[in-house]
Amino acid sequence: MTETHHHDQPTLDMPARIEQARSIVEGAGERFTPLRAHVLELIIADGKAVKAYDLLARLRPDVGSPKPPTVYRALEFLSRHGLIHRVEALNAFIACDHNHLHDHNHDHGDGSHRHLAEFFICEKCHDVEERHAHDHTACKPDGFNIARSVIEHYGTCTRCAA
């Protein structure tokens, strides 16, 4: 099962992506700890949607406690800052390519920067492609406060359809 994360633009190398993440987190007034950086590195290096327990098996003990709550706290933190996205259908996480961040920057009132991700998930090979979703705030009910949005489409990718 491979769940890859595609982008239209070339991605930055690992050190540049980690420094960009550090800048985003510290710009929001929070700490980008070695554990958080390591979890993000693992997700980026994986290159596909990865489950928390798979990360747990690869977590270096010298960086942080290899226990489920530790990983889940780091995942929640990285997600809150828009550095990763949760693919609900797969219960897995993928790294956000922040080459797109500057084009689709949104301030969510907490200093974090995120874009609305839209996922196209192949039901045969589980490939995941991320695209930028359109802002749906204009069509929300009056008084409704959107906390988070996940848009997932299911179908067949080009490779599997061939």
Give the integer Cα–Cα distance in Å for 103 and 125.
30
Evaluate whether the domain defined by 5-161 bears CATH number 3.20.20.70: no
pLDDT in tens, the chain (162 residues): 444 444 444 457 899 999 999 999 999 999 999 999 999 999 999 888 899 989 998 887 777 777 888 899 999 999 999 899 998 888 899 888 654 444 334 343 444 444 577 889 888 888 888 887 776 777 888 888 877 777 889 999 999 998
Predicted model pTM: 0.73
Residue pair 5/48 in contact by the 8 Å Cβ criterion:
yes
Q: Which two tokens stand for residue 108?
A: 């969510």
Distance between the two ends of the chain, CA-based, in angstroms? 18
Give me the residue spans of the domains in the chain. Answer: 5-161
